[in-house]
Chains A and B, each alone.
Chain A
Amino acid sequence: MKKFLFLLTIILIVIKSGNAAIIEPKIEAKELKEGEFIVIPIYLDTQFEEINAIEVYVNFSDNLVFRDYLDGKSVITHWIEKPRVVAPSAHYMASQITFSGIIAGGVSGRNLNLVELVFEAKESGIAKIEIDKNSKVLLNDGLGTKTKLIALSQSFNILYIKNLSRSELALLREKIKIKDNFPPEPFKIYLAKNKEIFNGKYYITFETKDKQSGIAYYEIIEKPINFIFLAKPDIKNLSFKKVESPYVLEDQSLRSYVVVKAVDKAGNERVEILYPQRVLVLEDFLTFVICLVILVGLMIFGIKYKNTRNNTKK
């Protein structure tokens, strides 16, 4: 009878979890030293479903500190919210990491990397990373149907290390550094205007990926067009400022080169340029015509003056 009940329970679990996506942290290290950094990839197994949107909450034990994230390997094509720590809330009494994004066109498969979270092992003891059950996985069905989710957890041991020197600690942390000599992927800068957002002003939107270390930040400069030479700006001599996408353009007349630089976490760069949309606007044309009229007038006046002087001399 007991055997039968056991079998029935297993069958019920299997039936219940049928076609449920799985999100799990994968930790290879069983032990970690205090002060050491660890990269924990979060994987999605769609279980033969096609998925296109996720919202994940990650719970982590007190002896871990969230330091960074790496999205170079992520299957997420567009981030709604990049990984960040959220303060304790009504549904969870401790800090959580949350992130959400879409996979344009949907994806099906297993071992799909969602993101890699970087933690510092702060205190010795058992450390735990757990995918919260409130995380959401939506089907690529055009309706946003929520699919069942199996949220898994993993733990490892943080060892107490006595008097670890700075250089030893640096060496430990060096292990997680990613060797990256590839620039971020080429990308497109989209110019847009929408009366309901940003007070109807022109803005640009852009996004790219870096397949190794991930994107660290974006920089921008708007360089007004040089009417005399009509030359492209010299990128090396420009002073960029850090921005995020979307970005409302300062030059709403669209007569500037908009230079966007994507920088990855290893410092490699990719620069893309949005060319001026309006080279010669009406006011420029009028100024040009007025200048031309004045110039021609002066020339006529000069010629006439010369002729009259010559005539008086004769």
Chain B
Amino acid sequence: MNKILKISLFFLIPILSFFIFQKIKSASVTVTAIVPGVCGNGVKEIGEQCDGSDFGGLTCFNFGYSGGSLSCNPGCTLNFSGCTYAPPSGGGGGGSGGGGGAPSYGKIIISGYAQPKSEVTLMLDGTIKATTIAGADAKFSFILDNLSPGNYLFTLYSEDKDGRRSSLYTFPVKLEAGQTITAGNILLSPTIDVDKAEVKRGDFISIFGFSQPEANILISVSSDEELFFRTTSTKDGFYLYQLGTDILEKGDHFTKSKSILANQLVSNYSRVVSFKVGDKSLTKEVEKVCKKPDLNCDKKVNLIDFSILAYWYKRPLTKEARQKVDLNGDGKVDLIDFSIMAYYWTG
């Protein structure tokens, strides 16, 4: 009898420990691969100006330079020594002033990576200037000439084949007369979505979208604390992460992603998508109604929507207007509503 017990224990213990190990492994496999909030983990977080090659979408342009590249000091502060300022080239005669002379225009060449075959939009001071289709390798480029010298705000975003948009990538440029500025290696954020609006705690939720082909994708899930997960995109840029929700508390959660290309270029974060962890699972419906800041429901957030919001600025709202234009639901149209609109701007 004792022998039988010993033999069965001999087999049972390894089997049991294998299952326990697997259980622990399956629970811990999704847990953060990165130590959050630490300088040197390669992810720019609150309190850091940069981390490794993650500059949070900032370039030398944001600091008044006309080119070059930022680097990151060991203390996670920005290093501007690689930034350059190119004086106006050619253009003859120099200077923008002087009545009578022919105006000397500038040029900007913008290139980077979006998602394969996505539609990339370039805005200039909040107005659509050009659109293009990215190649199968996700590369895109724009050349704008005949630009009068001055300060410009360039904004880029892309839309994947399913109509999901990347976050906006904005950079200011000071263009001198006759100057050509090149802004290259711009990495647009991935697009992102989830398959469930609510997920039963313990079930899986799919976080997916499009990015550059074969890029490393960093997914952030924030609730009380921020958790990070990694995956890679396929050759056509698609990425998918199955998140086991047993590690999340019940309640509302937010997720966003960023892409890392060849361990050198880091995009800024995608748009934020929310989901709930609860007692049941509900599939996420495709949004049929227009987004709140799209006040005239034309799938664009632009000057028309701005004019509608501006009409109601500091005016008493009617019942219909309150439902439509009061974007944060505080009963009035003020700077906050304009800020929400600016975030969703499409030009």
Contact = CB atoms under 8 A, between A and B. Distances in A.
Interface stretch (B25-33, B207-215, B307-315): B307-315
Interface residues of B, number: 63
A55 interface: yes
A104 interface: yes
Nearest to B340: A144
Interface stretch (A32-40, A71-79, A222-230, A299-307): A71-79
Contacts of B313: 80
A241 to B, nearest CB: 20
Contact of B342 (A104, A185, A194, A211): A104
A205 B272 contact: no
Contact of B148 (A19, A77, A113, A211): A211
A190 B298 CA distance: 13
Query: Which applies to chain A's interface (DSSP): helix, strand, loop or mixed?
Result: loop
A240 interface: no
Interface residues of A, number: 56
B188 to A, nearest CB: 12
B302 interface: yes
A190 B343 contact: no
A141 B343 contact: yes
Contact of A138 (B49, B150, B339): B339
B344 A138 contact: no
Contact of A53 (B101, B307, B338): B338
Looking at B151, B153, B295, B342, which has the most chain A CB atoms within 10 Å of its CB?
B342
A181 interface: yes
Nearest to B129: A186
B8 interface: no
Contacts of A139: 339
A258 to B, nearest CB: 15
A125 interface: no
Interface stretch (B110-118, B194-202, B282-290, B320-328): B320-328
Contacts of A93: none
Contact of A182 (B148, B170, B335): B148
B37 to A, nearest CB: 15
A142 B168 contact: no
A109 B295 CA distance: 30
Given A77-B153, A104-B155, A206 B303 contact: yes
B335 A211 contact: no
Interface in A238-288: 245-246
A72 B150 contact: yes
B153 A181 contact: no
B151 A74 contact: yes
A110 B60 CA distance: 11
A179 interface: yes
Contacts of B310: 80, 246
B58 interface: yes
Given A73-B151, A104-B347, A181-B101, A112 B172 contact: yes
Given A78-B306, A110-B64, A181-B98, A211 B340 contact: no
B92 interface: no
Interface of A: 18-19, 48, 52-53, 55, 72-75, 77-78, 80, 100, 102-113, 136, 138-144, 179, 181-183, 185, 187-188, 190, 192, 194, 196-198, 203, 205-207, 209, 211-212, 245-246
14 contacts: A53-B336, A53-B342, A72-B150, A75-B151, A75-B153, A105-B345, A142-B344, A181-B98, A181-B99, A181-B101, A182-B103, A194-B308, A198-B311, A211-B152
